[in-house]
Structure 1
């Protein structure tokens, strides 16, 4: 196998697991230890991973995000199913915070038939869709637009949210476990925390691929979430923790 093919295979494995033991990676990739070491050195030079003692970790720098169109296609059926459930929470004459995630943009069809709806978002893709619907008054945060993601972030964006109070916040995350809810980006975390703070009810959309996953930033605890919408039953230990925190779980 050529090195280019090996590197692609390694990145597929590491991207799914985020952190992988070297011994496990050697078995999964079917390569010798010396070949694997050379390939990992190359991937580290390309800033795609970090080598630790006995492990490799996927680089998830807050300045690097997969393109929005790529994320939009990931687990698309699950995102649409969750959005359909979330649509039951949406009614006319509401004010809604909606984050810039590729999950929450699937709420758009359930917004379009409501009257006197106010939507406040930091997502340029959602805002662009909603401009076609005069029955929705759309507000978008000021700040800098993050490359590839279509998210407006920064202190100005967080401060802009202070002008509003919402009935419901809809948001997504990169991970949930028994200890809380996680994000990969510090800036995204600040935006979502502010939305949570300024709303009456918080709905988290999180498909099961993100369950039992941690990330760099703990966005909030379970007590800050009112409803968690997912696409399949949760592991028992997480379900018990959520029930103890009075979090409604729907799927």
Structure 2
């Protein structure tokens, strides 16, 4: 396979999967790891990809938008590992605000042995929380987003503002050194208020959300206390986290 063909194939794989490990690319191209690394360096110089530890993601892109079912299925095993780490941070007998993220949803089964007072704007999360006999649940009021099944609007935000919770579990759509972002203002305003109402804000995001952006800014990096992800980020972003007082936690470590 000629180098031009390999580069196009790598771009095609990344377009389809949004990220890929070196092992995945070796399998797809049937070449050596060294060849894949050299090709990724070339694509990075062309500003097409950003190399990560063990692979690459598409560069300078907005985070991808998925419907609820797609978000729920995406990176299932990674979400479980991230969820386990998030649950470890939540103490027994505490209050927790759960946003409508599917990664946050994955945390709920990990909290079955803990007494929690749960507040959420997600119908699916409320139903899942109801399976925990030790939890007490408040479903926030507001307008219903019929596809994503979350509640939003001024009534939702006003109610959130009345709480002083121990923790907030915040699913991250996109994050960079410039802060946290999302694709819609309606959900972003709810997330912003959630981040304001907790003593500790736990941000959860798989590696594809890092160094991406979105239409609406939710908050600054300094507004979260923890970022739990699955792959160690680039040094520049890791330094930004440290500068803003955010503790980085790697799932599976």
* TM-score, reference length from structure 1: 0.73
Q: Distance in 2 between matches of 1:152 and 1:242?
A: 30
1:1-251 aligned at under 5 Å gives the runs 13=15, 16=18, 66-115=66-115, 117-251=116-250
Shift of 1:218: 1.2
Contact 1:90 1:110 in 2 (8 A): no
Q: Distance in 2 between matches of 1:14 and 1:233?
A: 22
> Which has the higher mean CA deviation after the structures are superposed, 134-143 or 65-74?
65-74
Shift of 1:173: 1.7
Q: Distance in 2 between matches of 1:96 and 1:205?
A: 14
Aligned residues: 197
Q: Distance in 2 between matches of 1:136 and 1:163?
A: 20
Shift of 1:15: 9.3
Q: Distance in 2 between matches of 1:198 and 1:170?
A: 11
Shift of 1:112: 1.5
Give secondary structure in 1 for the equivalent of 2:190. Answer: helix
Q: Distance in 2 between matches of 1:151 and 1:206?
A: 19
Contact 1:66 1:148 in 2 (8 A): no
Q: Distance in 1 between matches of 2:97 and 2:139?
A: 10
Mind listing any 5+ residue stretches in structure 2 that lack a counterpart?
A: 1-11, 20-60
Q: Distance in 2 between matches of 1:108 and 1:119?
A: 10
Contact 1:87 1:107 in 2 (8 A): yes
Change (3 A) 1:138 1:220: same
Shift of 1:91: 2.1
Contact 1:101 1:171 in 2 (8 A): yes
Aligned residue number for residue 31 of structure 2: none
Q: Distance in 2 between matches of 1:13 and 1:110?
A: 33
Contact 1:83 1:107 in 2 (8 A): yes
Contact 2:142 2:152 in 1 (8 A): yes
Aligned residue number for residue 57 of structure 2: none
Contact 1:142 1:157 in 2 (8 A): yes
Aligned residue number for residue 32 of structure 1: none
Contact 2:170 2:195 in 1 (8 A): no
Q: Distance in 1 between matches of 2:18 and 2:145?
A: 24
* TM-score, reference length from structure 2: 0.73
Contact 1:66 1:149 in 2 (8 A): no
Mind listing any 5+ residue stretches in structure 1 that lack a counterpart?
A: 1-9, 18-56
Q: Deviations over 1:25-80 (max 9, x none)?
A: xxxxxxxxxxxxxxxxxxxxxxxxxxxxxxxx99x8xxxx6431221011111111
